[in-house]
Each structure stands twice: as structure tokens, then as C-alpha cells.
């Protein structure tokens, strides 16, 4: 059994809305770990992710901190660097589809706006993380990944970006101040800009030329 912390607490990005992400690596089912408190993986699954060069493997390799080791070995470090990440285009396209689905829902109904804005944040953050990993620049797994791409950063201001993040925290943790109708409208009017940004970024990685197109 090996236990790790990962995520914002290991990056020092802690605030009142932060949680602590925990990973348990075990052999088969282990009743000691509650899935609501831990991400639970078998050793076999971890090896699969490492072979695939999966973004989560890179996240763990680069940013996790060991909390407990049954054999005094830092298991994730002992298995070496994950394989090359090769699915950047496919993954970015997948997260754009999640974005487009949320955008379509927002455009068609006001009933699930905060949930849809939460999905936009999920899509944008993971899209940017996959881009950073695919492009060979410093991989960014933070909540601000889309704002940390220098010239390639998402073209919306910080206050609007924070609205999407607030919606995500509300939907995943049930904490925070509910977005007002004006704040929802402010976020919604940036959706076309976000879509254009995603289209441009996809063109960049498909062409393999990491310059503004």
C-alpha cells in the first residue's frame, strides 16, 4: 500500500475552497479507503497509465507527495518517468466537445446555467493542461492552467475566469456564493471567445507549430 497527496496542496495553491486530493495505490479492493476521500488505483492500473503517458500519470509523477509507504519505497518515483504523452490532439478535441455541449445547454435553457458554467471551467482547465503537456512546455495541472500559457492564454479577464471557477466549486463542493444573474451573463458572453481560442489552439497543435496562427 502506498498513499500520496496530489493537486493544489502539493503546489501550495491553497485557499478556502481547496480540498486535499489523496491517492491510494493498493492490491485489489481495500475496504479501508472510502472512494469519496481517495482516488483508489491498483498497481496494474498505475502501470497502464504510466505506459500510456496519461496526463494523470504525469500529474502524479511531477507533483505528488508520498504520505505513506508500506515498504519504505516511493513507489511512483521507483517506476520512473511515464511514457511520452501522445494523445494531446484527441484529448483537446474531447474537452472542446465537453465545452460545446455545455455551451449548447446554456444557449438553450437557463435551468442549468451554473452547472453548465462549471462544465466550461472543467473543459477549459483540462484543455489547457493537455495542451501544455502536448506542446512540451512546462506541464500545468493547476486550476489556472488556461491563464498560464503566456501568449496562448485564454483571452478573457481574470474576473470572468473566476466566475467559471466559482461555478465549478459550487457544483463539486457545494460551497461559495451563488452567481448572480449579471455574473452569469458576464460569463456567458465570453463563450464565443473561448471557442475561438480552442479552435486556434487545436490548429496550433495539429500543425505542430507553436506560434500564434
* pLDDT tens track for 73-115: 999 999 999 999 999 999 999 999 999 999 999 999 989 999 9
SS3 24: strand
Are the C-beta atoms of residues 10 and 65 closer than 8 Å to each other?
yes
Give the whole-angstrom CA distance, residue 18 versus residue 21: 9
Mean pLDDT rounded to a whole number for the chain: 92
Distance of alpha carbon 15 from alpha carbon 34, whole angstroms: 24
pTM of the model: 0.89
Distance CA 178, CA 161 (A): 15
One digit per residue, pLDDT tens: the chain, 213 residues?
Answer: 999 999 888 887 766 666 788 999 999 888 889 898 999 999 999 999 999 999 999 999 999 999 999 999 999 999 999 999 999 999 999 999 999 999 999 999 989 999 999 999 999 999 999 999 998 888 999 999 999 999 899 999 999 999 999 999 999 888 889 999 999 999 999 999 999 999 999 999 988 765 543
Amino acid at each position: 500500500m502506498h498513499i500520496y497527496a496530489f493537486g493544489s496542496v502539493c503546489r501550495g495553491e491553497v485557499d478556502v475552497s481547496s480540498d486535499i486530493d489523496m491517492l491510494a495505490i493498493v492490491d485489489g479492493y481495500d475496504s479501508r479507503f472510502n472512494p469519496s476521500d481517495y482516488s483508489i488505483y491498483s498497481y496494474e492500473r498505475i502501470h497502464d497509465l504510466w505506459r500510456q503517458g496519461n496526463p494523470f500519470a504525469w500529474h502524479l509523477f511531477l507533483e505528488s507527495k508520498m504520505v505513506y509507504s508500506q515498504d519504505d519505497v516511493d513507489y511512483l518515483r521507483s517506476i520512473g518517468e511515464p511514457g511520452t504523452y501522445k494523445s494531446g490532439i484527441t484529448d483537446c478535441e474531447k474537452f472542446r466537445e465537453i465545452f460545446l455541449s455545455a455551451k449548447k445547454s446554456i444557449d438553450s435553457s437557463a435551468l442549468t446555467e451554473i452547472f453548465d458554467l462549471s462544465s466550461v471551467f472543467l473543459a477549459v482547465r483540462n484543455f489547457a493542461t493537455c495542451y501544455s503537456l502536448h506542446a512540451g512546455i512546462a506541464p500545468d495541472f493547476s486550476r489556472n492552467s488556461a491563464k498560464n500559457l503566456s501568449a496562448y492564454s485564454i483571452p478573457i479577464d481574470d474576473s470572468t475566469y473566476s466566475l467559471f471557477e466559482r461555478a465549478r466549486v459550487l457544483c463539486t463542493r457545494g460551497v461559495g456564493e451563488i452567481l448572480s444573474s449579471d455574473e452569469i451573463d458576464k460569463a456567458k458572453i465570453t463563450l464565443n471567445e473561448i471557442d475561438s481560442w480552442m479552435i486556434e489552439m487545436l490548429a496550433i497543435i495539429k500543425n505542430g507549430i507553436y506560434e500564434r496562427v
